[in-house]
Structure 1
Amino acid sequence: MLNESEKKNLIEQLKKAKEEVNLLKSKLSKVNSEKESWFRKKATISQEIKDKISFVQDSKKQRNNLTSEVKSTKTKRDELNKKISEELKIVKHIKPKPEDGHHQQRENPFALKKKIDSMELKIETEPMSFQKEQAIMKEIKTLKKKYDEIKGLMKEIDDIRGKNKELNMLKKEANKFHKDLQQQAKESQEFHEQIIEYSKEIDILREKEKEAHDKFMLGKDEYINLNNELKRKLEELKAVKDNLEQNEVRVEELEREKKHKNLKEKTKEVNEKIKKKQKLTTEDLLIMQSSK
């Protein structure tokens, strides 16, 4: 059997073990909360990195597609410009060039044809003398000869008009390709700049992710150490309790006796205050009430 001193020592050990267990549980709860907070933060950052990487990959695809379109559009534009240059040479070749003063004053073939038709209609529809008709016929013959000499100009003019029309269409198409090229190049550059910006952000996030991971791992190690220490303290607490039970020491009864003793001493102090007619505190009144 244990003597009173040994019992008291065991009870003090029990009290100390309980306090240490409660303190460790409090620390363990705090460390676990911080550890899980860093874990959630790391998970959030990891998801953000994943989203930005996905965006960068999509942007690279779009940028590369636009770069291919730029090359294709540039090729088409250059081909059109080459064709325009060739067509201009053709127009320059077929355009009538004055060879002398007579050709410089060459009449409009359309006006000349109209004049011939008008004179022929006049012969057919208007009464006139034989001499006048012969004179008009002679003039018509001269005009027709002149017309035959320059009628090739009509074809040249038609060819020029057709080529000019074709050139205008080609120029419009080339301008469209040029505008498309500028727009595609602009969009490609915008995607490229976004990729650079997001890549920088990803690098920063990776640093934050590493920091969160490192702190989570530190918290995890601390949690494991505290948990192991708590297990040891719980074993110590159980050993003290088992020792007390084996020696039939009722801790609750001892605690009640201790409280009763303390209450008795405090009641005595309050009675002394009453005898001396000193002012009682609220605590004094509660002690008096408990002692009844």
Structure 2
Amino acid sequence: MTNELQIRKAELKDISEEAKEKRNQLNAEASKFAAERNELNNKTKELITVAQDLKVKRDEVNVNVSKYKTLRDETNAKANDLFAKADELRKEGGLAGPSIKEIRKQIDELEFKQQTSVMNPKKEKELVTKIKELELEYSEKKKQLEENSDLKAVLDEAQVIRDEASEYHAQLAVYASQAQEFHEQMIATFKEADKIRAESDVAHKNFIRAQEAADEQHKVFIEAQKEIRDIDKENGKAKKKDKDAKVKVDKEEQEKDAQDIFEKFKDGGKLTMEDLMALQRSKY
């Protein structure tokens, strides 16, 4: 092997070892990123399963929300029809104006104001007078209402139905709250899944980057090894050529020696055992 080829082979060995070391290091990094990616993907799947379960629960509760909303609205519509009928009966019986319920509400509000507000004597007197007027109107309306059995019956029925609607509304509020809670949990879980999926995408990109870099180093390693084998092959050919040439020279020399011995034999010369073996090895 020439000195130049020996130097090149040494360089290739260094390149090969360096590429092998980098390749192994990058493959280790790729494995680490792959494990991280797989773990994050599993977490994402688990969160999506949880979110889907929450969605099912929300939808199941929303069935009750729709049910009680329909019952409330239908019941309120019945109550409104009865209150409208009561208004017609009031007009027919000369009971137009605010209802007994509205008057009672005004009295309660004014009494609360009287108890909690600081007023001068004049204002307080005016307020007391107003309360007495409303109480008188309330008493008269109540008396008239009690005397009007048809109106009283309609108002009582309307109030029962309104109370029923209020119960439906209370149930609706409970289910709506549950549905909202499940919905918010579902949204939060889907967002968490999206966040972890994004982290998984980063880990996958890092895996691809490390894997491609490892493949590049492997190519460098393979190419260096191939060139080393080519140098060794060429060196082997050169050695064989030198050996064949040496064998040829040795053979030619043996043939020449055998010819000299044979000529010596023909001239009647005495041959030694070594001479005989030399002749045996030759064409003579």
CA shift, 1:234, in A, is: 5.8
Give the aligned partner of residue 253 of structure 1: none
In 2, the alpha carbon distance for the partners of 1:184 and 1:198 equals: 21
Tell me, yes or no, if structure 1 residue 106 matches structure 2 residue 139: no
Structure 1 contact 59–191 (Cα < 8 Å) conserved: yes
After TM superposition, give the deviation of residue 39 of structure 1 in Å: 0.8
Among residues 155, 177, 180, which one is paired with 1:179 in the alignment? 177
Q: Which residue of 2 aligns with 1:41?
A: 29
> Does the 8 Å contact 1:45/1:209 carry over to 2?
yes
Matched, 1:52 2:52: no
CA distance in 2, matches of 1:92, 1:216: 78
Query: What's the TM-score once normalised by structure 1's chain length?
Result: 0.49
Contact 1:45 1:208 in 2 (8 A): yes
Matched-pair contact (CA < 8 Å) for 1:60–1:191 = yes
Residues 236, 108 of structure 1: CA spacing in aligned structure 2 closer, same or farther, 3 A cutoff?
same
- Which structure 2 residue ranges, 5 or more long, are not aligned? 96-138, 247-284
The separation in 1 between residues aligned to 2:142 and 2:5, in whole angstroms, is: 127
Give 2:206's aligned residue.
Answer: 208
CA contact (8 A) 1:18 1:237 kept: no
TM-score by length of 2: 0.50
Q: Give per-residue Cα distances to partners, 1:99-153, cap 9 Å, x unaligned.
A: 45699443999xxxxxxxxxxxxxxxxxxxxxxxxxxxxxxxxxxxx9xx96x96
Mark the runs of 5 or more structure 1 residues left unpaired by the alignment.
1-9, 110-145, 248-292
SS in 1 for 2:143: coil
Give the aligned partner of residue 225 of structure 1.
Answer: 223
Report the alpha carbon displacement of residue 69 of structure 1 after superposing the two structures with TM: 3.1
Which residue of structure 2 aligns with residue 75 of structure 1? 63
- Give the Å deviation of 1:164: 6.1
Residue 185 of structure 1 deviates from its aligned partner by: 2.3
Alpha-carbon offset, residue 31 of structure 1: 1.2
Q: What do residues 223-256 of structure 1 show as CA deviations (whole Å, max 9, x unaligned)?
A: 1222233445566788999989xx9xxxxxxxxx
Note if contact 2:79-2:159 (Cα within 8 Å) is conserved in structure 1: no
Q: Judge conservation of contact 2:73–2:165 (CA < 8 Å) in 1.
A: no
Question: Partners of 1:176 and 1:213 in 2: how far apart?
Answer: 55
Quote the sequence identity (%): 7
> Which AA in structure 2 matches 1:228?
K
C-alpha distance in 2, partners of 1:71/1:176? 15
Distance in 1, matches of 2:239 and 2:20, equals 28
Q: Residue 77 of structure 1: CA displacement?
A: 0.9
1:175-229 superposed Cα distances (whole Å, 9 cap, x missing partner): 1222222222222322333344444444444433322222111111111222233
CA distance in 2, matches of 1:166, 1:77: 16
1:17–1:236 Cα contact (<8 Å) kept: no
Quick one: which of 189, 192, 195 aligns to 1:194? 192
Aligned residues: 194
Structure 1 partner of 2:72: 84
